[in-house]
Amino acid sequence: MTELERLQAAKIPGKETGIEIRHTFCSVCEPLFHCGIDTYIKDGEVIKIEGTPGYPVNNGNLCPKGHANRQYIYRADRIKTPLRRTGPRGSGEFEPISWEEAYREIAEKLNRIKEIYGPESVLFYSGYAKWYRSFLQRLAHSFGSPNFGSESSTCHMATVEAWKDMVGRFSVYDVQNAATFMAWAVNPYHSKPTQLRQLYEVKARGQKIVVIDPRVTPMTEKMADLHLRIRPGTDGALALGMGKLIIDNGWVDEEYVKNHVYGFEEYVDYVKQFDLKRVCDITGLRGEDIEKATEWYAVNKPSCISQSGAPIVHHRNGYQAFRAINCLSAITGNYDVLGGNIPAGETYSHQWANFETREHEFANATKPRDLPPRIGDKRFPLWAHFMDEGQMTDLTRQIQEEVPYPVKAVMAFGLNHRMFPEPHKLLEAVDKLDFVMSAELFMTEMCRHSDIVLPVCTSFEREEFKVYPGGFATYIKPVIGPLYSSRPDSTVIKELADALELDDPLLRSGYESCVRWMLSDCKLELDDCIREDMPIKVPDAKPYEPGLYTKQGYDTPTGKFELWSKSIERYAPGLNPLPAYTPPWDRTNEVDYPMVLSIGARLPFALHSRMHDVPWTRSLRPDPMVDMNDEDAEALDIREGELVTIESPAGAITVKANPTARIMPGCLQIYHGYREADANELVDDFHLDPYSGYPGYNCVRCRIRKGGKEG
């Protein structure tokens, strides 16, 4: 080997090797974790990836998903060219067409549908990616449709809704300054690894950490001073029981309650029924553990409670449970104080970074007046009142029933039907549509059911403006050219607006100029961002000063922290204004379906469906499996790796058994995202939470038996 060959084999950057390092970020996860990536490029190809040292969120570290980016962006099933369907829906028979042809056909189809059924019959949908959402929403509005919807119909937004309902603003937790941290249903070791450094720091300073989780996880093992191993879906009862203990022990912050809380008397009256014995019966917890956790939370202050966007609200009683948990921060005066739960505004692209942009205004500026209700508005009136987008868990029903009006076309940017309850029903509904477009990275099942498929780029191949907590902003540039003939979503949206000849000059002026418009009230110069390779500090950004919002009065009908919701009373009269507890399942099923299935927890090397077709990450858990309690397995004579069938009233799947002490007796856990045996088929319409429309993925009554045919 020559010296040069050695350098090249070791991928050493430099003139002689022709290897260059360029900066981008990983966009596999949610915006908060778009970790900085050093890409090693040779001859226009990414040959190696490392974390970027000094980058705000990850400072040089990457998780297994980040490290697998090279395999992700070069996946063999990347869509190479615009396609037109030639065979039946689902057959995968397509012919390549030019971008111009694709746009012409889309415009023709959409305009015809608009003429016959009205613009509201076209839905504009976005999957997990969030960076182009305000553009897509504006496209929908400029087209005349109220129907923008996204994966947020199942993620995070129910927590935003609940906070808005209670205090008028989404809120986060100030774990850095807390003395007690209630890690309520969270396992950052798998879902938020970039937050772990901070957790280790606060733990080292002696912070008390309570973890509330039915499973044994790295979080319960490594961080918890106390682990409340609760039965799934019973968190509301625990929170109400804690509320009663706080009142009985005189730990209420009287001053805060007097001045800033609405509905306290009704709350006191309601929680009387949640005495310790009853709460223990419902939750399966020990009284002394509940008492200890409550005392730490209410006395060892300030205390904060973590706010995951998934496990608590993924129950049909989840919205109310989430509200019941938030009540604790009101009655103990732990809201809007240093180290408590504090209000947070959205800055850009579903991310708060302590400065303001005009993104929201941008998305809504072309919204026509007097629009018909959005998909889901009638069925989920509380969601409709608080949220800026339709509730997509009602999409299947509306396509099938055409009530209150027909939906005839879907413009899908990354729609994965498998993330919704009973995915086959959504796919069947989609097959009934007059027109389906998919803009995607990969040839997914949904693409195969689309009429036109458009190839889009990964973050390695495009530009994007992005903000980070702490007041950072960056503008990434492509580190390689677009693969095949793919284009960025932002370009596709602009070009669709052109093809549809929409009266929206700003949207049609292109991505960068729209971002400039959104930043026009802010001291940040986009050119500074574009010039720099790394995130820069935004001059306007300043950390929130706890207490400010309370002084100003909350943005709720009463101006107070509402334990009794005036909004529920007014906008959703059939629902309970108090954070009432109801069981998470249909009790009549307990005999036939004795087990409780959770389909939800996160795998450290998977992100929903996205890493399942990437060889490195897939190899870490190749088969769909059900985690079950080892003693339950023994009682049923089920051994590791054996096939078992899990049945719910909605359907059945067969997977391999994985007996483990990490799962509670009576409980099962399956990771979602495996299409070979899709556990979401076991979740039916019954599981939708009437307050938010969120699916109850985490509590499905089922039974398990040995045997069955895989799938």
- What is the binding site for ligand MGD (CB under 6 A)? 29-30, 127-129, 151, 154-156, 184-187, 190-191, 212-215, 217, 230, 232-233, 235, 308-311, 314, 413-414, 416, 419, 439-442, 444, 456, 489, 598-604, 606-610, 672, 680, 697-698
> In the sheet where 19-25 sits, what is the strand order?
19-25, 36-42, 45-51
215 vs 260, which CB is nearer to ligand MGD?
A: 215
604 vs 666, which CB is nearer to ligand MGD?
A: 604
155 vs 375, which CB is nearer to Mo ion?
A: 155
Q: What span, in angstroms and rounded, lies between the C-alpha atoms of 629 and 658?
A: 9
155 vs 479, which CB is nearer to Mo ion?
A: 155
Q: Binding partner of residue 305 among Mo ion, ligand MGD, none, CB under 5 to 8 Å per kind?
A: none
| Composition of the chain by helix, strand, coil, percent to 5 | 35, 20, 45
**What's the min distance (Å) between Cβ of 227 and ligand MGD?**
11
34 vs 314, which CB is nearer to ligand MGD?
A: 314
560 vs 701, which CB is nearer to ligand MGD?
A: 701
Query: Which of these, 97, 135, 144, lies nearest to 362 by C-alpha position?
Result: 135
Residues 69-128 that bind Mo ion (CB under 5 A): none
> Given the rule CB under 5 A, which of 73-81, 147-155, 406-414, 479-487 is the region that contacts Mo ion?
147-155
Residues 10-69 that bind Mo ion (CB under 5 A): none
Q: Binding partner of residue 304 among Mo ion, ligand MGD, none, CB under 5 to 8 Å per kind?
A: none
Q: Which pairing describes strands 303-305 and 595-598: parallel, antiparallel, or unpaired?
A: unpaired
> Given the rule CB under 5 A, which of 153-161, 362-370, 441-449, 676-684 is the region that contacts Mo ion?
153-161
523, burial (CB in 10 Å: exposed 0-12, middle 13-18, buried 19+): exposed
445 vs 540, which CB is nearer to ligand MGD?
A: 445
Our finding on whether 160 is near Mo ion (CB under 5 A) is no
* DSSP-derived secondary structure for 91-121: S--EEE--HHHHHHHHHHHHHHHHHHH-GGG
Q: Binding partner of residue 419 among ligand MGD, Mo ion, none, CB under 5 to 8 Å per kind?
A: ligand MGD
Structure tokens at 358: 């005009």
What is the distance of C-alpha 462 from the center of its chain? 23
Q: Determine if residue 359 is left, alpha or beta; phi over 0 gives left, psi from -120 to 50 gives alpha, anything else beta.
A: alpha
Q: Binding partner of residue 232 among ligand MGD, Mo ion, none, CB under 5 to 8 Å per kind?
A: ligand MGD
Asked if 319 and 694 count as a contact pair (C-beta separation under 8 A), the reply is yes
Q: Binding partner of residue 600 among Mo ion, ligand MGD, none, CB under 5 to 8 Å per kind?
A: ligand MGD
Structure tokens at 313: 């609200």
**What's the min distance (Å) between Cβ of 418 and ligand MGD?**
7
232 vs 693, which CB is nearer to ligand MGD?
A: 232
Q: What span, in angstroms and rounded, lies between the C-alpha atoms of 445 and 424?
A: 11
Q: Nearest 5°: CA angle at 128, between 425 and 307?
A: 105
**What's the min distance (Å) between Cβ of 312 and Mo ion?**
13
Partners of 670 in the beta sheet? Answer: 626
> Cβ-closest residue to Mo ion?
155
Contacts of 201 (CB under 8 A, 6+ apart): none
Q: Binding partner of residue 212 among ligand MGD, Mo ion, none, CB under 5 to 8 Å per kind?
A: ligand MGD
155 vs 412, which CB is nearer to Mo ion?
A: 155
**What's the min distance (Å) between Cβ of 550 and Mo ion?**
30
Q: Nearest 5°: CA angle at 195, between 21 and 72?
A: 45
**What's the min distance (Å) between Cβ of 608 and Mo ion?**
8
210 vs 467, which CB is nearer to ligand MGD?
A: 210
Q: Determine if residue 265 is left, alpha or beta; phi over 0 gives left, psi from -120 to 50 gives alpha, anything else beta.
A: alpha
- DSSP label at residue 407: -
210 vs 382, which CB is nearer to ligand MGD?
A: 210
Q: Which pairing describes strands 122-126 and 148-150: parallel, antiparallel, or unpaired?
A: parallel
Q: What span, in angstroms and rounded, lies between the C-alpha atoms of 518 and 539?
A: 16
> Given the rule CB under 5 A, which of 148-156, 416-424, 542-550, 599-607 is the region that contacts Mo ion?
148-156
**What's the min distance (Å) between Cβ of 536 and ligand MGD?**
24
Q: Binding partner of residue 230 among Mo ion, ligand MGD, none, CB under 5 to 8 Å per kind?
A: ligand MGD
Q: Binding partner of residue 617 among Mo ion, ligand MGD, none, CB under 5 to 8 Å per kind?
A: none
**What's the min distance (Å) between Cβ of 527 and Mo ion?**
34
> Cβ-closest residue to ligand MGD?
414
Q: What span, in angstroms and rounded, lies between the C-alpha atoms of 486 and 455?
A: 5
Alpha-helical segments (H) within 310-375:
318-331, 359-364
Q: Where are the beta strands (DSSP E) in 567-674?
A: 595-598, 625-629, 643-648, 651-660, 667-670
The helix (run of H) or strand (run of E) holding residue 139 is: helix 133-143
Our finding on whether 155 is near Mo ion (CB under 5 A) is yes
H helix and E strand count, the chain: 28, 27
Residue where the block lists tokens 């993104």: 359
**What's the min distance (Å) between Cβ of 301 and ligand MGD?**
22
Query: Which of these, 410, 459, 458, lies nearest to 435 by C-alpha position?
Result: 410
Query: Which of these, 397, 362, 360, lies nearest to 378 by C-alpha position?
Result: 397
Q: What span, in angstroms and rounded, lies between the C-alpha atoms of 684 and 682?
A: 6
427 vs 572, which CB is nearer to ligand MGD?
A: 427
19 vs 607, which CB is nearer to Mo ion?
A: 607
Q: Binding partner of residue 486 among ligand MGD, Mo ion, none, CB under 5 to 8 Å per kind?
A: none
Q: Binding partner of residue 217 among ligand MGD, Mo ion, none, CB under 5 to 8 Å per kind?
A: ligand MGD
301 vs 672, which CB is nearer to Mo ion?
A: 672
**What's the min distance (Å) between Cβ of 395 and Mo ion?**
18
Q: How many residues bind Mo ion (CB under 5 A)?
A: 1
Most distant CA atoms of the chain, gap in Å: 82
**What's the min distance (Å) between Cβ of 128 and Mo ion?**
8
Q: Where are the beta strands (DSSP E) in 520-618?
A: 536-537, 561-562, 595-598
**What's the min distance (Å) between Cβ of 554 and ligand MGD?**
26
What is the distance of C-alpha 594 from the center of its chain? 30
**What's the min distance (Å) between Cβ of 324 and ligand MGD?**
12
**What's the min distance (Å) between Cβ of 217 and ligand MGD?**
5
**What's the min distance (Å) between Cβ of 609 and Mo ion?**
12
Residues near Mo ion (CB under 5 A) are 155
